[in-house]
Amino acid sequence: MSKLIIQPEQRLRHFVHQVGALLDTQPAEAQLLPAVARALAALVAHDDWLPDEYAVPDPQRYRQYLLHADTCERFSVVSFVWGPGQFTPVHNHTVWGAVGVLRGAETAQAFGRGGDGQLRASGQPKRLEAGEVDLVSPSIGDVHQVSNALAGGVSVSIHVYGGNIGAIARSTFEPGGAAKPFISGYSNTHLPNIWAGPLTLQQDVSA
Ligand code: FE
């Protein structure tokens, strides 16, 4: 079987094309999410394309660098950079999202409300290694807490969301479940230029 060969500097651009083309077909979420997960898994299968400035950790807090926002804000792509021991608050998204680990490892713990209305961890924490992808959405489970699984190293994951995630009004949750308004913003003021040169995809016929 032949497969596409994509140059490292064109991986993100190719991924942006794929997600845009998927959304153009206005798929139901049940079709969209597996397709996004496959494209994201291909993107994070190679750790050779993310410019260093979008992988710089901060000693205080995890960082979220916007890599691309769709023209009509249908989706956004973000690199999350985790210093040792860093973690998010318990939070929701309000839109679909896919998380792919590029470097290191990440732990995701889902939360759900019990009959008493209290928010509790549901299920076991999930450890995602480099190359693995996890999904969230209001329909499949939207509340989680994510942390760096490496106690002594930096982890980097690539997230794609069904909106301009840094600008969406959403919530963090206190222990017990009280919601607090949350707009995450982004850590960067400049975006990577992913657009130079022709987009060249070659068929590898030897594979
Ligand atoms: Fe999240």
As for how many domains the chain has, the answer is 1
Predicted confidence (pLDDT) per residue in 88-105, tens digit: 999 999 999 999 999 999
Inside any domain, residue 2? no
* Average confidence (pLDDT) over 65-79: 98
What would the DSSP string read from start to end of 39-65?
HHHHHTT--S-S-GGGS---SSS-EEE
pTM of the model: 0.94
Inside any domain, residue 178? yes
- Burial code of 43-66, b = ≥16 C-beta within 10 A, e = fewer? bbeeeebbeeebbebeeeebbbbb
Average pLDDT, the chain: 94
Q: How many Å apart are CA 153 and CA 112, to the nearest integer?
A: 30
Structural domain range at position 57:
7-187
Cβ(89)–Cβ(173) under 8 Å? Answer: yes
Inside any domain, residue 204? no
Number of residues assigned to the chain: 207
pLDDT at 197: 85
Q: How confident is the model at residue 129 (pLDDT cuts 50, 70, 90)?
A: very high
Inside any domain, residue 196? no
CATH number at residue 32: 2.60.120.10
Whole-number Å distance, alpha carbon 48 to ligand 1 midpoint, is 24
Predicted confidence (pLDDT) per residue in 183-192, tens digit: 999 999 999 9
Whole-number Å distance, alpha carbon 141 to ligand 1 midpoint, is 11
Whole-number Å distance, alpha carbon 144 to ligand 1 midpoint, is 6
Inside any domain, residue 113? yes
Q: How confident is the model at residue 78 (pLDDT cuts 50, 70, 90)?
A: very high
Inside any domain, residue 192? no
